[in-house]
Amino acid sequence: MKKVEGIVRHFKLEDVKNALTEQGIHGMTVSEVRGFGRQKGHTEIYRGTEYAIDFVPKVKIEVICTDENLQTVIDTILQTAQTGQIGDGKIFVTNLEDSIRIRTGERGEEAL
């Protein structure tokens, strides 16, 4: 099993969710996050005063999938979230040792 974390732009969340659902991936967790990468934030002008925005708001999508579905999840997020502009985000993949469904006690892939 794998855990895929995708950091994407806010306006791409619905597109990514719908695309993953069309591919048969139904479970995900979404969090509002803030951070910066190479772009190191940006400046905005509000009422004539310039403000530095150090942490850019993004959305983090977490998907737990089987090894067989990993490439589908990655490809779907890449194709859907990409705009070609700086700040499109990142995808991180980690190994997952176990998962347990609290209601039934099922473990491993059965718990997904």
Domain 2-111 has CATH 3.30.1330.60: no
Walk along the chain (112 residues) and give the pLDDT tens digit of each residue: 999 999 999 999 999 999 999 999 989 999 999 887 776 666 667 777 777 777 888 999 999 999 999 999 999 999 999 999 888 999 999 999 999 999 999 999 898 8
Sequence spans of domains, the chain: 2-111
Phi-psi region of 51 (alpha: psi -120 to 50; beta: other; left: phi over 0): beta
What distance in Å separates the CA atoms of residue 112 and residue 106, rounded to the nearest whole number?
9
pLDDT for position 43: 67
Determine the Cα–Cα distance for residues 91 and 111; give it in Å rounded to an integer. Answer: 23
